[in-house]
Amino acid sequence: MSKGTKKLRILLADDHELVRHGVRGLLDARRGWTVVGEATNGQEAVEKTSKLKPDVAILDISMPNLDGLQATRQIREASPSTAVVVLSMHESDQMVRRVLDAGALGYVLKSDLAAQLVNAVKDASAGKRFLTPRVSDIVLKGFLNNGNDPSKKAQSQARPTPREVEIIRLLAKGKANKEIAAELGITVRTAETHRAKIMLKLGLHSVAELIHYAIRNKIISEPSILE
């Protein structure tokens, strides 16, 4: 690491000591990465994130007090600059959607942890969304299984405006309303209004659905989400 290069500061939250120890070993092996805090439950993770302002928070989905979903939402509110990566044992389309909707940038299956966590942290710290190929397949299969959803008719008929396309692209990249407002030079309330109108107009119900819509309509390319 060159002189003056900023260190990557990470918070780790899992209620199992052995898991924390194993994950910390992976992270500490990376030059320039440092674990600035550990938490054993969701509430502690939120409190430590608010105090320490890490670049990335790694959260287990199943924790006492606050689960990973609730903790993600509160962390994104308390520290918008902190990217969240969620660790989970759940191989379900619904769970992936809920995690993305909560504001996480990464979703890593615990069975893929050793192979994928470093890449997930790298991408999340750069503001990129990270889904492993296996998780991406889970999400896309979920959409295929819901191919008869009447919302698809609304999507095929509706056409987003150029401003809405900008916002869809930013939302798909995991940007929060505050970040979208700053980037586009609009108020947070206006960003929130645009987001609500887009979801209603296109018949979408989650960020995961919005990502799929953006890929299918070539607003974003799949590699920009997965790499």
Minimal CA–CA distance to 164: which of 172, 154, 156? Answer: 172
pLDDT above 80 (res 27)? yes
Give me the mean pLDDT over the 69-81 stretch.
92
What is the distance between the alpha carbons of residues 210 and 68, in angstroms, rounded to a whole number? 22
Minimal CA–CA distance to 107: which of 89, 85, 91? Answer: 85
pLDDT above 70 (res 157)? no
pLDDT tens-digit map of 170-205: 888 888 888 899 999 999 888 888 888 888 888 887
Minimal CA–CA distance to 84: which of 63, 67, 105, 64? Answer: 105
Give me the mean pLDDT over the 71-75 stretch.
94
24 and 126 part of one domain: yes
What is the distance between the alpha carbons of residues 33 and 19, in angstroms, rounded to a whole number? 18
Evaluate whether residue 69 is within a structural domain.
yes
Q: Of 66, 98, 132, at which residue does a domain stop?
A: 132
125 and 159 part of one domain: no
Evaluate whether residue 46 is within a structural domain.
yes
Q: Of 132, 159, 184, at which residue does a domain stop?
A: 132
Task: State how many domains the chain has.
Answer: 2
CB atoms within 10 A of CB 150: 7
What is the distance between the alpha carbons of residues 172 and 175, in angstroms, rounded to a whole number? 7
CATH number at residue 218: 1.10.10.10
184 and 86 part of one domain: no
Evaluate whether residue 139 is within a structural domain.
no
pLDDT tens-digit map of 142-155: 655 655 454 554 44
Domain range for 201 is 146-226
* C-beta separation of 58 from 87 below 8 A: yes
CATH number at residue 119: 3.40.50.2300
Q: Give me 34's structure tokens.
A: 């440092």
109 and 43 part of one domain: yes
Query: Which whole-number Å values give the CA distances from 190 to 8, 26, 166, in the listed order?
Result: 32, 41, 14
Evaluate whether residue 42 is within a structural domain.
yes
124 and 152 part of one domain: no
37 and 80 part of one domain: yes
Q: Which of 50-54, 83-87, 109-113, 204-208 has the lowest mean pLDDT?
A: 204-208
Query: Which whole-number Å values give the CA distances from 146 to 4, 143, 202, 219, in the listed order?
Result: 50, 5, 16, 21
User: In which residue are the tokens 């959260």 written?
Assistant: 59
Q: What is the pLDDT of residue 223?
A: 43
